[in-house]
Amino acid sequence: MTENTVPNRLKLPHFLPYRLATISNRISRTISRLYSDRYDLTIPEWRVMAVLGDESDLSASEVAHRTAMDKVAVSRAVSRLLAKKRLERHFSPQDRRRSVLALSLEGVRIYAEIMPLALSYETELLSHLGKQETAELNRLLDRLEGLSLETFGDPARTSKDEDGAA
């Protein structure tokens, strides 16, 4: 073995975390073409809006947890969305000491315009798989997600990576 030879080389194109990340990044970038220029939104900003469109009155930490994004990335996205008047921050009705986020009227309008585009993209992508393949893909993704959380904990609490799944 020479000095430059690496023992037990990783076959990166076949390494599951690499494959999942690259597929996710490609899909996220493709979907972002539907909204980024027209709505002046980054991928992290859209992820925050998508989570808050699904469930309102969440803290920034809860958004970070649901998106598996780093808290710093969520904080930056939230700051930009607040500045663009797409989010509102207010106190939780249940706990007046707790600050929560919600889509503003402008945020709701944008969400309502982007969501059908995102769902249409998903439908088109999945149309290339059969019903059984789609069900199996969902089952396997659920299983991998559960195993990952069970085995390694929640990466959103420690990750510094801003890039990731849509």
**Span 16-68, pLDDT tens digits:** 999 999 999 999 999 999 899 999 999 999 999 999 999 999 999 999 999 99
Q: Which two tokens stand for residue 85?
A: 């008047």
Whether the Cβ atoms of residue 106 and residue 88 lie closer than 8 Å to each other: no
Q: Under the phi-then-psi rule, with left for phi > 0, alpha for psi from -120 to 50, and beta for the rest, what region is 68?
A: left
Query: Judging by beta carbons within 10 Å of its beta carbon (0-12, 13-18, 19+), is residue 161 exposed, middle or buried?
Result: exposed
- Per-residue confidence (pLDDT) for residue 73, from 0 to 100: 96
- Per-residue confidence (pLDDT) for residue 16, from 0 to 100: 92
Task: Please list, residue by residue across 140-155, b when 16 or more beta carbons sit within 10 angstroms of its beta carbon and e when fewer do.
Answer: eeeeeeeeeeeeeeee
Question: Beta strands 87-91 and 99-103: pairing type?
Answer: antiparallel
CA dihedral over 142, 144, 145, 149, signed as positive or negative: positive
- Per-residue confidence (pLDDT) for residue 10, from 0 to 100: 85
CATH label, 12-152, candidates 1.10.10.10, 3.30.60.50, 2.60.40.10, 3.40.1280.10: 1.10.10.10
Residues 6+ apart with CB under 8 A from 81: 45, 48, 49, 87, 107
- Per-residue confidence (pLDDT) for residue 4, from 0 to 100: 72
- Per-residue confidence (pLDDT) for residue 3, from 0 to 100: 65
CA dihedral over 18, 23, 26, 29, signed as positive or negative: negative
Percentage of residues of the chain with pLDDT beyond 70:
90
* pLDDT > 70? residue 156: no
Cα separation, 114 vs 94, in Å, equals 30
Cα separation, 31 vs 82, in Å, equals 23
pLDDT tens digits, one per residue of 69-121: 999 999 999 999 999 999 999 998 777 788 999 999 999 999 999 999 999 99
- Per-residue confidence (pLDDT) for residue 118, from 0 to 100: 95
- Per-residue confidence (pLDDT) for residue 163, from 0 to 100: 44
